[in-house]
Structure 1
Amino acid sequence: MAGGLKNISAYLRFMYNVPHFKTSAHADVVAFMHAHPFITLCGINEHSQPVATHIPVLIEERNDKLFLLAHVMRKQEHTKAFEANPNVLAIFSGAHSYVSASWYENKQVASTWNYQAVHARGILQFLDDAGLYNVLKKLTANFEQHADSPSLVEKMDEQYMQHNMKAIAAFEIELTDVQHVFKLSQNRDEKSYNNIIETLGTKDADAQSIAATMQSRKSTIFPS
């Protein structure tokens, strides 16, 4: 892909595109993807109808390109669609929360919703049996996060593995386009920004997560 994925700004063409709600740091976008690996994977079937499924993915960076590794069950509608049309969209999403204009200094404006999301387009390629086994090993090791876990693929019964592998297909997606929105009230004045953080901090887990992210980014938005 021309320019590589490190030039994130070159690919901000189709998603909600307001400069306030972007980051120029490639590492921030990739970190968000790693932190939210349970994605919605979308495609188009042979009848031009949209399909989607929800799966965990492993993210790998090779020579300035990003790849997603995952597996799905065989003979599913989405699997057949991916076989017929390898062009897919992976959606990474995180915490989100309503933000009331009553928390702003100027309260006579529209309320909004804060959230973070990444949309990643790419080309899906199914893998052979050896590739499937390798993907299963990588996925399990990544999410178990313990080298001594008895649930690692290499510690499972070989007959059990071979039997279950017949029902699933592994693939990798080479990403060709990555877009993001980190909508976190960056367009508000500092007092309103602080009020939003304080109020979200008293609400549910998603709101508290948004508040924590806003707090962590405050120094870049309002440098002293």
Structure 2
Amino acid sequence: MYLPTQFRAKDEAHALALMRAHPFANLISVDDDGFPCVTHMPLHLTQENQSHVLLGHCAKANPHWRYLKTRPQALVTFMGSHAYMSPKVYPDLTRVPTWSYLAVHAKVEANLVEEAQAKDRLLKQLIGDHEPIYAAQWRGLAKDYQHKMLNGIVAFELRITELQCKLKLNQHRPESHTAMHAAYTQGTPDEQALAAWMVKLGMVQP
């Protein structure tokens, strides 16, 4: 992605935090005709052998897993909080509106998970992110139903090979920070989250 120096995250932990806080991602690769294929899905971030790995799955009817099997390199994007920024935050009038946002792009290498028990373990990690109590209900379902459900999906591990994290919060315009933070603090949940990131990055005092 277009990533000016002033918006490039200097700490990998910021990217990891965004991926965990906003796990509903876009998995992007190319189909057999070379056209981009996008699947929207929740992903679980974990670590294996000192590498960051994203775990996910798609329906077996979704051809995307076949593209991953043939061409394992793919891109995963995460969008964090975002909001309009009014030029009113500047002390002068010769300004224009813009958009503040947090985003992560991860280049990945895909590996399909086809063994039933391995798929089950992978699903448990996703369940743990969103509804841990459901794991007991899943274990109580009939074995033939579990098998049918597992057979209807294709699971995969996406090993991250490169991370880009963009934190676009007008860092290069310090004259706007106080007013921008004040406006976002009183705004929508997304704007309030951006205000918290401004504090985290040391742009304003808490």
Q: Normalization by structure 2: what TM-score?
A: 0.89
Partner of 2:194: 210
Which amino acid is the alignment partner of residue 33 of structure 2?
H
Partner of 2:159: 174
Q: CA deviation at 1:43?
A: 0.8
> 2:126 pairs with 139, 147, 150, which one?
139
Q: Distance in 1 between matches of 2:109 and 2:48?
A: 15
> 1:189 pairs with 174, 179, 182, which one?
174
The answer to whether the aligner puts 1:30 opposite 2:10 as a matched pair is: no
The answer to whether the aligner puts 1:55 opposite 2:41 as a matched pair is: yes
Which amino acid is the alignment partner of residue 42 of structure 1?
I
Q: CA deviation at 1:62?
A: 2.5
**Larger CA deviation: 118-127 vs 132-141:** 132-141
Partner of 1:101: 87
Which amino acid is the alignment partner of residue 177 of structure 1?
E
8 Å CA contact 1:82, 1:88 repeated in 2: yes
Q: CA deviation at 1:221?
A: 3.3
Partner of 1:17: 3
Partner of 1:157: 142
Q: Any unmatched runs of 5+ in structure 2? A: none
Partner of 2:111: 125
Q: CA deviation at 1:222?
A: 5.6
Superposed structure 1 runs of 4+ greater than 6 Å apart: none
Q: Distance in 2 between matches of 1:154 and 1:26?
A: 36
Q: CA deviation at 1:181?
A: 0.3
Q: CA deviation at 1:162?
A: 0.6
Q: Any unmatched runs of 5+ in structure 1? A: 1-14
**Larger CA deviation: 61-70 vs 90-99:** 61-70
Q: Distance in 2 between matches of 1:206 and 1:120?
A: 23
Q: Normalization by structure 1: what TM-score?
A: 0.83
Q: Distance in 1 between matches of 2:196 and 2:66?
A: 41
RMSD: 2.0
**Larger CA deviation: 169-178 vs 121-130:** 121-130
Report how many aligned residue pairs link the two structures.
Answer: 204
| CA deviation string 1:117-156 (max 9, x = no partner) | 000011111112232111112211232245x8643x4343
Identity of matched residues, %? 28
Task: Please give the secondary structure, in 1, of the residue aligned with 2:95.
Answer: coil
> 1:221 pairs with 188, 203, 206, which one?
203
Partner of 1:9: none
Task: Please give the secondary structure, in 1, of the residue aligned with 2:75.
Answer: strand
> 1:75 pairs with 42, 57, 61, which one?
61
Partner of 1:45: 31
8 Å CA contact 2:113, 2:154 repeated in 1: yes
Which amino acid is the alignment partner of residue 123 of structure 1?
E
| CA deviation string 1:14-56 (max 9, x = no partner) | x222222122212222111111111111110110011101111
8 Å CA contact 1:46, 1:84 repeated in 2: no
8 Å CA contact 1:88, 1:123 repeated in 2: yes
Task: Please give the secondary structure, in 2, of the residue aligned with 1:221.
Answer: coil
Which amino acid is the alignment partner of residue 144 of structure 1?
E
